[in-house]
Structure 1
Amino acid sequence: MQHTLGGAVFHSDDRRPPGIRTPDRETAEEFGEPVAVLRDAPAGWFTLLGRQSSDGFLHCLDVGYHRGTDLMATVQTSRPLPESHRVRPFSTPESELWVFLADSGRIDHGTFPEDLGPVRHEVVLRLDGVATRVAGSRSHGCTSASLPCGAGHLVVTAPDAHWEAVADLVLRRAGDF
């Protein structure tokens, strides 16, 4: 598998020996909850793991799926913040759709969410083989939808052309990264 980082190209077959610590594995261990990923990513896609923290508490893991330099999909797994936190960040399908559209170059970063005009519609997400109909938001040929997951939720965002591939999710434990 080919990856690019800062213009450099490196290859990986993504078959890591069990027990070998990687930055992704360390981040997943810090998260401490199972993380949603695509059951079967399309050929040629690779992942980059992102994180969101509040006051040092890791509350979201974003699995970005890329093909070359193109962002193809994101799967965000979140967990609630401790009660002691005053600020309550919360991702919605609409907010994640806006971020995805900007990060994938489909809209300009200066576009305001109200300019997107998302359309609500119903989609199906499958988590560990269980299909659930959920409300989704669609704009600029992309869809984003959310599903409860444990005490938190997950948000899937991708172009409509890839929705079937990204709507089938499984939960992975830290040791699987």
Structure 2
Amino acid sequence: MRIYIESRKKKIENIRKAYPEAEIIDVTSKGTLPFLKFSPFYPIGEIPVPFSEGFYAASIEGIWQGLKVFEGQDIDENKFTISNMKGLKRTVRSFGLPKGHRKGVHGTELLDYISARRQIYIPAYNWALDNNLQIELERLKELGLQKDLVLLDYETNDDIDNPLKPLSHASLIKYRLEGRSLL
């Protein structure tokens, strides 16, 4: 099974030219069911918030944005409950520069960007893969046995330690399908 990650921003015709025999699957919030469920914005529900016993979120992005701390604002637990995939982002423009991610709702430690990827984002995404997305993963495995897969994501960075680009969630899917892990 060969799996490629391409930017959803590329023209689909160009992706089809580059991978003429591949199945192209959009795993972003603009995709369609069932693979839309792989989007970090999708409200798969009841995802445990890392380092926060008794706290659960509707989406992975809700966790990521909810635990983010800015110069002008601390965490926002309301992000955990958003289930319509809208209004999840918290921006520099609104809140000032990010200071890091709080290590849990009641934590005192602020994690830097890469540490937050390792301790918050990836564990939350892996939890979703393990507990909510097994059917969809199995479907991708079946498709991958028949042809190459191209996973479309807005981000294509698969280097967990590269702070210059957001991490591609499609890379987490790819590694899982290949039996590998980023951690």
Q: TM-score range by the shorter chain?
A: under 0.3
Q: Which one has a larger percent helix, Structure 1 or Structure 2? A: 2
Name the TM-score, length of structure 2 as normaliser. Answer: 0.24
Q: Which one has a larger percent strand, Structure 1 or Structure 2? A: 1
